[in-house]
Structure formats: structure tokens, C-alpha cells
Structure 1
Amino acid sequence: MKYRYLVVSDTNNIIDYIYASPKFKMIRGASILLDELNIVETVRIAEEFGGLVLSTGGGEARVLFERKEDAEGYMTAIQRKYLEATDEVSLSIVNVERREHELMHDWLQRAEERLRLSEIAKYKKKIHNISIAPIMKRCDSCHQRAAEKGLEVEEMHCCRSCYNKKKAFDGLKEKIDSPKFSDQDGDLSGLEEVYQQLIKEVPFQRVEKMSDLVGDEPSDSFIGFIYADGKGIGQLFKGDLERETDDETFIRRYKEISKGLKDSLISAAVEAYKKCLEIGFEEEEFRVDFSSIGGDDFAAIINGKHATVYTYYLLKYFNLFTKNKINLKEGKHLAAGIIIAKSTYPIHQLYNLAYELMAKTKAESNESTLDFQILYDSNITSIDEKRMNIDGRDLYVRTYRIGDSDDQHLSFKDLYEKARKLKERKFPSSKIKAIYRITAEPSKLMMEFEWREWLSRLEKEHKEIFFEWNKKFRKTPFAFERNGIPYTPLRDLFDLYEFVDEKVVME
């Protein structure tokens, strides 16, 4: 056995770190720093100690070593690097020695289990450097940690953590703006790879502040927060690898899969961007601020009008690229949650809600799915507060497929096209409000009566859109059924209506 020691690590207190400050540049700087540490610095330090990196991404890393002292040296160095760069982010990290005749797959699985136990027992405590002595001045950015003399950012007195975040933001900005950036090879983080590809292939516009993502129209003042995560990705590392006895074969395939996932997500992010421009979104208005791209994790902020369509293509292309880049019979899937809200909505809350949506839709299906919610109320703290069931009828669909509709889930493309056609045919906005009242009517008889009365006042060209979608709309707004429970997509349809561009036809 050439490799005897496996070091597995994962980052701690990430959400607290990224969203400690409400300021956009600090949030972005935190993401940039973590991406650089995880993708670039981890590899560099591992190689310094003679390690072989199996995978990095999403804050995690797996590195093989021949000698115990090299593994321990790497552990010390990488933990020090994280604390020096962030001033507060710690690592959960374990070094697991291989047993005699142990298969590499079993070794990795055992190390992962040890890491999770280690996280629970020890490392998940938040580490910070706030002195127990009286603080003379708190950081003007995060309002949590002690400001340090000489660390000023845009007339703010900052703690070292926020100061480093701003430096990272400025550093990436300077790097991207360099004429040499598009041709730079090697040592690129996931975010840098995305930006590099976009600069080469499209009229890409970098986002410097939140106002860059919004416009003058009422619907343009909304932003979309997208969070996506892979489905069944762990199964990729099983199958043939689970019983593989040859270490070289295992390592080669494991690295191929890890790299394939990363490359697929980056390529999907770029192709989705290009596709949105191709189908008609204006170049001057279309911008995406990528917050996280690593492994199978994706987060981004985008104008609310573009959020759902961009996400649709992101999921579609990820499935296509994983099939081709990892050489699979069927591509892998992502689940995505999208929150569309006013640009003044706290970003950390957008993240929490988008993550909640992602988790819900991930549990609904094994295929590529998305869920979205448009928020007008800044007091919402949970998606369940918006989702209602009236007398055994669901008022929201919750999960949309990227493929065609089936008996369990509707297609998002169908929903979007119905909204687009209504807008194209000048459906009167004054008719929309009544739908929310009608669908919430507890009495089934009264609900169906009011629905038919509402339909009777529509133009024929508008009625046809509903009837073509499902003939049951002639009688009830709850035209679909899943697991014996009637549901309606009409609230989703009219929520989306204001954020649909009638000139943009999805393909």
C-alpha cells in the first residue's frame, strides 16, 4: 500500500462568516476567500507536503499521504492558512490510517464517518479573536468583532476578518479586469474559472454592487437568490469503485469524477448564461453574481426577472455535462431553490430561505427540479409560512421538473410559457388578484362557482391557454392532482407573471 494516511477536512461556521456583514462587498469577499482557500491553497499546501489531492470543493478536501509526518504537517499548515486568511474560519480535520488489506473505498467511507463525529464533538465551535477585555470600538461592517487600528475600508473602521474580505473582493476585481486574465492558466479558483470562460465567450458584465443587479421598473427592483445542490452525487463514488481493489484505478476514477463534477457545474453556469442571452434577455441588463461554485454546490444572485429561467438552464446543462464529462449513461441532477425578493432583503435570510426551498424540492424527486418563491413581505422567516393547504387542497405546486410534466410534477417550462403567453396576449393584471381569493375559499362549491364566474369574464384567447393546459380548468382551478391531493399552479403562475418577459421564449 503506497498511501497509508488520508486527511479529510471540512470548513466550519461558514454561514456565520460569509453573512457576518450585511454589506455586499464583504459577503462577496468572504465567498472569494473561501473559494481560493479550498480550491487553490489546499492543493498548493498538500503538494508541498507530498500529498495527492483526491478532491476539493464545497469547503471539503480529501488528501492522501505516504508518511504520517507529512499528513500531520499538512493538517497544521492548512488550518493555520485558513485562520490567517479569514481570522475566524476553522476546519474540522481528521487523519485516518489505512488498515491492512482495506479497500480504498472503505477507507474513505471510514474517514468521512470519523470527520462527522469530529465535527459534532469538537470543531463546530465558532472560533473568534474577540478579546474578553472591553472593546473600544466594534467593526463598522459586521458590528460583531473588534475593529483594529489601521484597518480602514471606505471610511469604515474594520475588524481583520472584514478587512480581509474587502481585500479579496478588490483582488478578484483587479484580476478579472486585467487583460491577461482571459489567457491565464492554472491556479484558478472555481469562481475565477467561471469568470474567465464568460469573459472569453460573452459580453460579460461584472457585478460590483447590489444596485448593478436591479433596474428602474418595479419588477426590476427584485433580485433572485439561487441555491442548488446535487442529487445522488454520493452514488457516483460507489458502483464500480465500491469494490475496486486496484488503488491506481480507484484514484484515477475518483479524481475523474471529482473533476468532472466541478467542470460540469462551471460549464453549466457558463452555458446557462449564454443561453439566456441567446433566447432574448438584454445584454445590458443580464448579470449574474456567482457566490459559490464548488463540487455540486452552487449559489448566485441575479435580477429577479432572470432568476428562474437561468436556473432552469443551469440544471438542464448540468445534467448534460455530467453525462458527457464523467462518461455516464445518464447525467446527474441538481435541486434548486430560488427566492425572489426586494434587493433590500437581508442576503443571509435569502440564503436560508433558498436553502430551505432546495432541501424541500430535493426530497420530492430524484430528477432535476426547482422550486421558487416570490416574497413581498420582509418578515417571512420560513417557506412554510407562505405555503398553504385549504381543506385538503394545495395552493402551491412546490416542485417543478426540468423535463416534461408527469403525473407527479409539472414542467417549469410549461408554467413559464403559460405566463409568457398570457402576458403576450395582454392578459389584464386587474384579474389576477381575484385568483388568490378564489383559491383560498374554504367551500369547494363556492370556490368552483367563483372560478367559473371569473372564467366567464375572460377573453376567449385567454381562456384557451388554461384549457389547453388542462381541460379540468373548465370546472376548477385545482386541475391537477398528486397522491390524491388536488393542487393548483395558478398562484405560482401569477406570482411569476410579473417576472416574465413576453419576448423571451424558452427552448
Structure 2
Amino acid sequence: MSTPTSYKDRLSQVCDELNWVKEQFGEVAYAVVSALACQRLLLMAAGKWQEPMAGDWDAELSRVAQTFGEGGEAANLADFEKRWFGAEAALALVSADTDKVKSYVYESAKIPEVRGASGLLQDLNEKETAEELHKRLGMPPEWIIYAGGGSFLIVTPTELADQIAAEIARLYPAKTLTATITAISQPVSLSDLHSALGEQVRELGFLLKVAKLQRKVMPYFDTLPHGEFCAVCNIRPARERYGDTPDLLCASCTQKRKHSDKRRMLNKFIEFLNGEPQLREKYFRGASPEAASWAETLADIGQLGDGYVGAILADGDDIGQFVHSLETLQEYHRFAHGLEKAIEEAVFHSLATHLHCHPLSSPRGRWTHFHPFEIIALGGDDLFLIVPASIAFEVGLSIVEEFAQAKSCVLPSDLQDHHWGMSAGFLICPDHFPIYFMRAITDELLARAKQETRRKLYTQQRVPSEQAREPESYIDFLILKGAATPRRHVEELLSVLYEPGERGDVRLTERPYPLSRFRELLDLAGQLKGAGLSRTQVQAMAQALYRGREQATLEILYRLSRLPEQPRRVLDDLIQQSLRAENALFPWTEHPGARPPYRTTFLDLLELYEFVQPLQGEGGDDDAS
């Protein structure tokens, strides 16, 4: 059923007449009552509406608005819905999620296409879908309860639900040519919408997964035998040239490259800085924001890290469990917007604190400076960004720490005792690594960190409450210096790199680390650098660890005794801590029952040393220059 123009205009008029609800009771109450009013109008237009014998529509609708705006008895909602709409649910929930995001975004190894693909999806998710639904169906943007991370949750009249789902599914391939989205709808009672939303969202999630598995039609492009393939993706037939490049691009990659010129994420970052005058001044250092552009290539970012970049992937811990714990539409709306704000502010604050705008070696037109970072993804509860390697660990760790501090601002009061945090995977690699491989490796690092976080959470749940400690999120990292892209999974790489010899009794790493322990190691590495520990001394101690447990212990203790006073004093605390620990003899810690049983944090510390800023004592300047 299509919505005639006259009824689309009438829907908009009905919604406009209810603006007082938004002003008095908030956006959630407005979304519900305006959707109810539109359902009534659509039923009238279809000849399905039956007016009850008694009742004041406007007065009762006002009470519904009050219930969703201020809280109230769900029983009143059931009575209202039954009398005015009969046995059929008046409203429905539409849930949608983008399909195979990584395949679309990381299809190319070149940063303009990756940036453009990510930007296209983010614009569709955060802005264009709402605008298109309003334009074609008269749907007010307030019906969208959540839009982020490639997903939607929309409350809608039952009569419009299938149309809205179909319009979303049509819009994505129409705008991107190759990206698709799966959208479904499910009727929902007012009572469940008010007090059992978590269960409804869980059921929608299951139905959405089923719908994704059943998808059969995907965008397809014919390729003639004598045709030329796209110079970027090498998958689809080339169609045209874009800009100054001689490369022939397919229609999809042309769309991505065109969109890479947009500054939406930069504008959000600058808007954040405008609210933080001191950070803004520190970050721009006299440069004009209008004269600063994205980095042209990852080499621009890598030049600030001696040819290396750091890829940071982070994701909120058990966010799905929080969503399923939320009972009301108001809580869901508040949580979704609070989560988005917490992640964006953590990312923007960390970038502005630890980085600053840099001059271009060769100005490009009006661009004289560039931002030394690349935000590939920032939405929902996850993020993926690339920064200079020399500051990557500090930037990533600061994001995770600041996100953890946002707990009281995001979670409802009855969920404050739940674990709240963000696990992360950090990768240091040469700046010529394809972005797809960066994402694939950090995905595995993040999975290892999340697995350890979940294991610790499960362990804490079995401990008596009076003995339980606040569980922490975990961080995993990997440093790759080779020129070749690794063809192994992370677990295999760790075995090859950190389990030397034939005895199989040592593992030269303790990764992943809890947040507080990783902070200790990072600060210690910075203090060692600030104390004047030389790279030659670091390399000698690192090599000693590969010579077997007994010989490594003797050689490292010997080398420590010959260190200058300042770096030796910095390491004294680490040694004393090891001597006090159970099953530990510096630099080893024994893990009975584990394979391998002997592990050490010392090599992790030495590896971190190369990619930290020097610290003096407890503080120091950790701003990447």
C-alpha cells in the first residue's frame, strides 16, 4: 500500500498539531501519541476505523502522553488500546541493520574510498534515512528511537510499518549502489512498549538475524568479457574517472570517492572543540579550522610515528545485555543517546588532548594543515580509528578510561551496580598496511580482550558480594614491524612471536591486560623513556628473554644491575612488586595448570617503550608533536 500525497500531508499535519506533547512530555511521548494519531487517520482512510460508543479521544491521548512522558500504570494503556483500536496492535516496531558493513567499507585498500564508504553509511544512518522517510511517507524524525552503528529502532503506526521497512531497504542500495540493509517490523502493544521493551528488542534481534540469513537478492553488475575492471575494488566493471586520477572506477567506488570529500565527522569534532576553548587553542595552535583537511594518505599520519600507525578498535562490554534490561521506551531512548554522546566525547577529547593539527609539507589549494588521525567508524557502541603510532596507546587507553567514567551519566540508577566499560584491541603496524588487514587483526585482538573480560565477569559473579571487586575491561595489543602483511591469525602469531624454544615452558607476554594494569605498564614505559633508558639497552634485554628461562633471568638481572641510576630506580618498583607476588620470580610469573606455565610482562613493557612519549616521574607532556 502506498501513501497518497494527500494522506502524507495529512499525517504531517496531525503530527504538527501534537507538537505541544513534545514540549510538555518529551520526544518519546510525542513519538507514541503522534504514531497513534496517524494510525487512527490511516484506519479511517482505509475504512477500517470503528469509533467506540463512548470516550474522548483527545483527553485519553493526553493521558497516554503523560504515561510515556512521566511514567504511569500500563493497565491504562491496555484499556485505551482495546477500546479505540480493538484486538489489533495500534503500533509496531521497525528494526533494521546494515548488512556486511566490513565488506562494503573495507572493500578498497585506499583511504579515500574507505573514508567515503564509512561516511555514506553514517550519513544514511544518522540523517538521510530520516529525511527520506519524512519526504516520502510524512514520518516525523522523532519516531526514530535509535539510529547508530548502522542500526535503527523505529516506533510506527502498524499501517505504515511495512512501508517504512521497505523504504529503508530500498534507500540503502539506491544511495550506495552496493550496500544493503535488512529491515523488519513487528506489532507491539502499548503496554509492552511502555514496560517490557527489552523483551521486544530481544525478539526483534532474533527475527532480524533470521531475515538476514534468508536474504537472496544482492546488488549485481554485469561485466562484459572485454570490459575493464575498477582500478580500486577490482570487482565491478569500470564506468568513469573521478577527479584528477587516471584510474577508471566503478559506479560504487565513484560514489565512495565523491563522499570522501565531505567533512561531516570533522565538523562534529570541530563542534566539540568549539565547546572546549582551551582544547581548541591547544589543538589548532594558531591554524585555521577551515584550512585543515583530512590526511591524504596513511603515510601522512605515519610520518608522525616514524612510518608506523596505530589502529584502535574498541567496543562497549555487554551493551546488548543493558538494552535487554531496559524496560521502558524512555529508558531506551535516554540510554541510546547517552551512549552515543559518551563515546563521541571520549574519542574527541582524547584526540584533542594527545594530538594537534599539523602543517602539510606541500599545501593543497586552500588546505595548509591536516588532522593527524582518521576516524573510520564511530557509532553505536564501537569505534575504529587510526593515529600516529607514537601516541596510539595513550589515545586508545584514554578513550577507554573516559568511557568508563561516563557510567553514571548513561545507565539508569537501577543498573549502576552492573559492569560498565569498553574492551579494546590496539595494533601498531607500518603505514602501508591495507586498512582491511588492520581491521581484521584488531577484530581478533578485540575478541581476545572481550573473552577475558567476560571470563572475569563470570568469575566475579561466583564470588560472594562482600569479597567481589569491581571487574575491569581488558585491552590486547600487537606490534608488527615486518614489511609483509601477516597471513596468520593472532593466536598463531602470538605463539610464533612469544613462545620460543622447544621446551614450551615460557610465553613472553601476559596479554590481554586489565585496564588498570595496562595503564601501569604504559606509564612505566614512559618513565623509562624519560629516565634515559636507551633503545640499545631495551633491545639487549628483549633479546635475552628468548634464551630460555634460566639464562634470561640471569642475563636480565645482570643488565639491570649495570643500568644508570634513574632507569634502574624506575624498574625497582616492578622488581619489588614481582618479589611480593605469589608464584613469581622476576621477570617470570608461574601460572600453574596453564600452557606454557611461565609468563612475563617484561617484554610487553619493553615493546611499549618504543611507542610511548617520555614521562618525567608522575607526569609529563604526552602530546604527539
Q: Normalized against structure 2, the TM-score is what?
A: 0.69
| Cα distance between partner residues in 2 of 1:153 and 1:89 | 26
Q: 1:452 to 1:100 in 2, by over 3 A?
A: closer
- SS of 1:338's equivalent? strand
Distance, in Å, in 2 between the alignment partners of 1:357 and 1:193 is 28
1:385 aligned onto 2:460 = no
Structure 2 residue matching 1:214: 3-state secondary structure: helix
Taking a change above 3 Å as real, the CA distance of residues 152 and 473 of structure 1, as seen in their structure-2 partners, is same
SS of residue matched to 1:360: helix
Distance in 1, Cα, partners of 2:152 & 2:244:
32
| Structure 2 equivalent of residue 501 of structure 1 | 613
- Would the aligned equivalents of 2:202 and 2:324 in 1 still touch at CA under 8 Å? no
Q: Is the 1:261–1:295 Cα contact (8 Å) retained in structure 2?
A: yes
Tell me the distance in 2 between the aligned counterparts of 1:395 and 1:323: 38
Per-residue CA deviations over 1:175-199 (Å, capped at 9, x if unaligned) read x6xxxxxxxxxxxxx6653343236
Match of 1:181 in 2: none
Task: Determine whether 1:307 maps to 2:392.
Answer: yes
Gaps of 5+ in 1: 177-189, 243-249, 404-410
The 5 A counterparts of 1:97-496 are: 97-98=187-188, 103-122=196-215, 127-134=218-225, 136-149=227-240, 154-170=245-261, 172-173=262-263, 192-198=267-273, 201=276, 202=280, 203-204=283-284, 205-210=292-297, 211-215=299-303, 219-239=305-325, 241-242=326-327, 250-276=328-354, 287-328=372-413, 329=416, 332-365=420-453, 367-377=472-482, 378-381=484-487, 382-387=489-494, 388-389=498-499, 391-403=504-516, 411-442=517-548, 444-471=549-576, 476-480=585-589, 485-496=597-608
For residue 25 of structure 1, the aligned residue among 101, 112, 124 is 112
| Alpha-carbon distance in structure 1 between the residues aligned to 2:100 and 2:318 | 25
Aligned length: 467
75 and 135 in structure 1: CA distance in 2 versus 1, 3 angstrom threshold: farther
C-alpha change, 1:498 and 1:196, in structure 2 (3 Å) is: same
- What residue identity is the alignment partner of 1:128? P
Provide the residue aligned with 1:6 in structure 2: 93
Give the CA RMSD over aligned residues.
2.9
List alignment gaps of at least 5 residues for structure 2.
1-80, 82-88, 285-291, 360-369, 458-471
- The structure that has the greater radius of gyration is 2
**Residue 150 (structure 1) shift:** 6.2
Encode CA deviations 1:383-410: one digit per residue, 9 max, x unaligned: 223323463433112123333xxxxxxx
Question: In structure 2, how many angstroms separate the alpha carbons of the residues matched to 1:208 and 1:3?
Answer: 50
Q: Distance in 2 between matches of 1:162 and 1:289?
A: 19
- The whole-number CA distance in structure 2 between the counterparts of 1:61 and 1:424 is 48
Determine what percentage of the aligned residue pairs are the same residue: 23
**Equivalent position of 2:77 in the other structure:** none
Q: Is the 8 A contact 2:343 2:381 kept in 1?
A: yes
1:195-217 Cα shifts (integer Å, max 9, x gaps)? 4323654235542312331326x
| Offset, 1:231 | 0.1
Cα separation, 2, equivalents of 1:145 and 1:227: 29
TM-score after normalising by structure 1? 0.84
Distance change in 2, residues 1:321/1:472 (3 Å): closer
